[in-house]
C-alpha cells in the first residue's frame, strides 16, 4: 500500500470506526443511492423518534471530507454554523448558542432556571429533559395535566405562575402526543407571561408541522420577549447520533448560557449540520417518507379501531387499552421496538415512523398484538 492509499484507507477506516460508535453504518434508502431500506439488527427500532433514513449521502460525504479536521478544536469552525443558523432564522448571531443536541440546551436552561429553589412549570405528559435537570439542581417542578384534547392546558399552567416561577416549558408539537397548540393561544400565553418568567418553547418537531404558515416562536424572540426556542438536527435531518442542536433567545440569556455550556458541538457535528442545512433533497425526502409512513400507521389503527392523536411529529400516540409493558414485550417478540411508558397514560403507546419496511413490519405486528 503506498503512503497515499494507506492514508486514504486509514481515513475511511477511522471514520467507519467513529461512526460505528455513534450507531454504525446502516443499509438505508437515501436519495441518490440504490440501496434498499433494511431493518437494524433485525429489529425495527421505532422507539426513539429518530429518522431512520439519516444521515443523508451528502452529509456522510461531508463528514468523510472533513475527518482530518478532528485534530482541531471545534471553535475554528463553529462560527460558520452559527452564522448559517442565525441567517436561517433572521436573528443576530448573539441570539444563538449551539449545543450538543438540544438536550444540552434544555439542561443549561433547566440549570439556570431551577437553581435557588425557583419554580418550573411543565405539562404532566411531555419531554422532561429540562424539568428533570431543573429538579436535580433544587428547582421546584409543577406538572400540569393535559386537557381532555391531550393538549397543553394553558389556563391551568397560567394559574400556577407566581412570583417564584422562573420558567414555563412548552413542547410544540408535544412529545409524546404530537399535539400542536393553536398559534394565537400560544402567542397570547407567551406574550402575557414572558415578563413574569422565561417561556421555553421546544420546537424539536417543528419541521413536521403541516399547518400552512404556522410560525416559529423565534418570532417572539425577535419581538424582544423573554422566550427561548430550541431546535435540533436529530429529527428531520437524521443526525440524532452526532449530537447537535441550538437555542435562540435574548443575547443576555445566551451569554449566560455560553458560560455554563459543558460540551457544545464537535467538529464532525458542525460539518454534518452545515451540509444537512443545504441538503434540501434529503430534507424533502424525509418529510415525504414521514408523512407516508405516518399515514400507513393511521390507516392500520383505523382498520383495527384504536383511538390515536393526530400527530405533528414523526411518531403517533395511540390507545392500546392494555398495560404498556405488556404491549412493548409483545411487539419486541415480533421484532419491533416501540416507545416506553408515559405516565399517567399507561395504556397508550408511542410509535415512531420507521422506514417503509419497518412501518409495514409494525403494521403486521399491530394486527397480531391488538387486532
Ligand X SMILES: Cc1ncc(COP(=O)(O)O)c(C=O)c1O
Binding region for ligand X (CB under 6 A): 49, 101-103, 127, 171, 175, 202, 204, 232, 234, 240, 245
| Cβ proximity to ligand X, 49 vs 300, nearer residue | 49
Contacts of 155 (CB under 8 A, 6+ apart): none
The residue among 294, 371, 297, 292 whose CA lies nearest residue 327 is 371
| Cβ proximity to ligand X, 240 vs 273, nearer residue | 240
Check residue 168 and report its DSSP letter: E
- Report in angstroms how near the CB of residue 230 gets to ligand X at its nearest: 7
- Report in angstroms how near the CB of residue 367 gets to ligand X at its nearest: 27
- Report in angstroms how near the CB of residue 225 gets to ligand X at its nearest: 21
The residue with its CB nearest to ligand X is 101
Coil/strand/helix, residue 238: coil
The residue among 64, 51, 58, 57 whose CA lies nearest residue 23 is 51
- Report in angstroms how near the CB of residue 328 gets to ligand X at its nearest: 17
Q: φ and ψ at 282, to 5 degrees?
A: -70, -35
Cα within 13 Å of Cα(348), Cβ side: 16
Contacts of 65 (CB under 8 A, 6+ apart): 271
- Report in angstroms how near the CB of residue 140 gets to ligand X at its nearest: 22
- Report in angstroms how near the CB of residue 102 gets to ligand X at its nearest: 3
At residue 335's C-alpha, the angle toward residues 331 and 338, to 5°, is 45
CA distance 283 to 352: 17
Cα within 13 Å of Cα(120), Cβ side: 31
| Cβ proximity to ligand X, 49 vs 122, nearer residue | 49
| Cβ proximity to ligand X, 175 vs 358, nearer residue | 175
| Cβ proximity to ligand X, 269 vs 359, nearer residue | 269
| Cβ proximity to ligand X, 102 vs 122, nearer residue | 102
- Report in angstroms how near the CB of residue 49 gets to ligand X at its nearest: 5
CA distance 46 to 315: 9
| Cβ proximity to ligand X, 111 vs 369, nearer residue | 111
Block residue for cell numbers 441538503 = 279
- Report in angstroms how near the CB of residue 180 gets to ligand X at its nearest: 13
Answer whether 226's CB lies under 8 Å from 112's CB: no
Answer whether 312's CB lies under 8 Å from 205's CB: yes
| Cβ proximity to ligand X, 180 vs 370, nearer residue | 180
CA distance 233 to 152: 25
Residue 201 pairs in a beta bridge with: 170, 229
- Report in angstroms how near the CB of residue 23 gets to ligand X at its nearest: 12
What dihedral angle (degrees, nearest 10) is formed by the CA atoms of 302, 307, 310, 314? -80
Cell of 273: 449540520
| Cβ proximity to ligand X, 162 vs 210, nearer residue | 210
Answer whether 180's CB lies under 8 Å from 211's CB: yes
Amino acid at each position: 500500500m503506498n503512503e497515499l492509499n494507506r492514508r486514504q484507507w486509514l481515513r475511511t477506516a477511522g471514520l467507519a470506526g467513529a461512526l460505528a460508535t455513534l450507531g454504525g453504518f446502516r443499509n438505508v434508502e437515501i436519495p441518490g443511492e440504490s440501496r434498499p431500506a433494511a431493518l437494524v439488527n433485525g429489529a425495527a427500532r421505532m422507539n426513539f423518534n429518530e429518522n431512520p433514513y439519516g444521515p443523508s449521502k451528502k452529509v456522510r460525504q461531508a463528514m468523510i471530507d472533513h475527518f482530518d479536521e478532528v485534530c482541531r478544536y471545534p471553535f475554528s469552525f463553529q462560527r460558520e454554523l452559527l452564522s448559517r443558523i442565525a441567517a436561517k432564522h433572521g436573528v443576530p448571531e448573539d441570539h444563538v448558542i449551539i449545543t450538543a443536541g438540544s438536550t444540552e440546551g434544555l439542561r443549561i436552561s433547566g440549570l439556570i432556571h431551577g437553581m435557588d429553589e425557583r419554580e418550573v412549570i411543565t405539562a404532566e405528559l411531555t419531554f422532561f429533559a429540562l424539568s428533570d435537570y431543573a429538579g436535580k439542581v433544587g428547582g421546584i417542578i409543577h406538572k400540569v395535566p393535559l386537557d381532555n384534547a391531550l393538549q397543553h392546558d394553558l389556563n391551568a399552567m397560567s394559574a400556577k405562575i407566581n412570583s417564584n416561577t422562573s420558567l414555563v416549558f412548552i413542547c410544540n408539537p408535544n412529545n409524546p402526543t404530537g399535539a400542536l397548540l393553536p398559534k394565537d393561544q400560544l402567542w397570547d400565553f407567551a406574550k402575557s407571561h414572558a415578563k413574569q418568567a422565561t417561556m421555553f418553547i421546544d420546537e424539536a418537531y417543528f419541521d413536521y408541522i403541516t399547518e400552512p404558515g404556522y410560525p416559529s416562536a423565534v418570532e417572539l424572540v425577535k419581538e424582544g420577549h423573554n422566550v427561548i426556542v430550541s431546535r435540533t438536527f436529530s429529527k428531520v435531518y437524521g443526525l440524532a447520533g452526532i449530537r447537535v442542536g441550538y437555542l435562540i433567545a435574548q443575547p443576555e440569556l445566551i451569554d449566560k448560557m455560553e458560560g455554563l455550556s459543558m460540551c457544545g458541538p464537535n467538529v464532525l457535528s458542525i460539518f454534518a449540520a452545515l451540509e444537512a442545512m443545504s441538503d434540501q433533497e434529503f430534507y424533502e425526502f424525509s418529510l415525504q417518507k414521514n408523512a407516508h409512513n405516518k399515514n400507513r400507521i393511521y390507516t392500520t389503527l383505523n382498520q383495527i379501531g384504536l383511538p390515536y392523536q393526530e400527530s405533528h411529529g414523526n411518531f403517533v400516540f395511540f390507545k392500546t387499552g392494555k398495560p404498556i409493558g405488556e404491549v412493548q414485550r409483545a411487539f419486541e417478540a415480533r421484532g419491533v421496538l416501540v416507545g416506553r411508558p408515559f405516565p399517567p397514560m399507561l395504556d397508550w403507546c408511542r410509535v415512531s415512523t420507521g422506514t417503509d419496511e419497518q412501518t409495514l413490519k409494525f403494521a403486521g405486528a399491530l394486527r397480531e398484538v391488538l387486532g
